[in-house]
Amino acid sequence: MWDSLTVKWEEGFTYLVAYKEEFGDCLVKAGSQYHQYSLGAWVRNQRTSKDILTLHQNHYLDALGFVWDPHQVKWEEGFEHLVAYKQEFGDCLVIQKSQYHDYKLGNWVGRQRYSKDTLTPERFSRLDALGFVWKLK
């Protein structure tokens, strides 16, 4: 039986596969177009519909490396850069405008300082254990 919703899902998935082959990840920006297809909207719909997707759909997305929480991925990316920075320089004294290996580490660090009171306990602990400098003098 032909199911238009399944066909539309498979069309979006096909575009996502092509996107990943071209860019190496599934971090599609909200609202972005890919080959005249609204892939950003499709990806957003998958994230918000995770609990109602079929097991088959969830499996295929997971196997592709679908990013369910792009904010978590971006946070981890910043944390990894901070760890590397500390290994190289011996501290976490990153100033606001600093770039580290083409990554705007200063901006990321500034966001952590600004949102100190709203960070999850796990993120706060990980930063604290690394020797994060919460306030520059």
Does the pLDDT of residue 7 top 90, yes or no?
Answer: no
Residue 92 DSSP label: -
| 90-113 tens-digit pLDDT | 999 998 888 999 999 999 999 999
E strand map for the chain: none
Q: Helices 4-23 and 55-64 sit at what angle, rounded to 10 degrees?
A: 10
Give the pLDDT score at 1: 47
Domain-wise residue ranges, the chain: 4-64, 70-130
In this predicted model, which residue has the larger pLDDT, 131 or 96?
131
| Alpha-carbon span 16 to 30, nearest angstrom | 13
Give the pLDDT score at 2: 56
Tell me how far the alpha carbon of residue 37 is from its chain's centroid: 21
| 41-74 tens-digit pLDDT | 999 999 999 999 999 999 999 999 999 999 999 9
Q: Phi and psi at residue 100, in whole multiples of 5°?
A: -135, 115
| Alpha-carbon span 108 to 1, nearest angstrom | 50
